[in-house]
Structure 1
Amino acid sequence: MGRKEFYWYYKLHATTAIFPTRSDGKLSKYKHLGKAGSQTYIDAIEQITARTRIEALDRSIEALRQGLKDLVEETSKYNKE
Structure 2
Amino acid sequence: PEIERTARANLKAVRQAKQAVRLATLDQPSQEEEDDTSSPYIMEGEHIEMAESNPPPPPMRTLGDYGQRNDGEIA
TM-score (norm 2): 0.46
Task: For CA contacts below 8 A with separation 6 or more, give which structure has more relative contact order.
Answer: 1
Which of the two has greater helix per residue?
A: 2
Select the structure that is richer in strand: 1
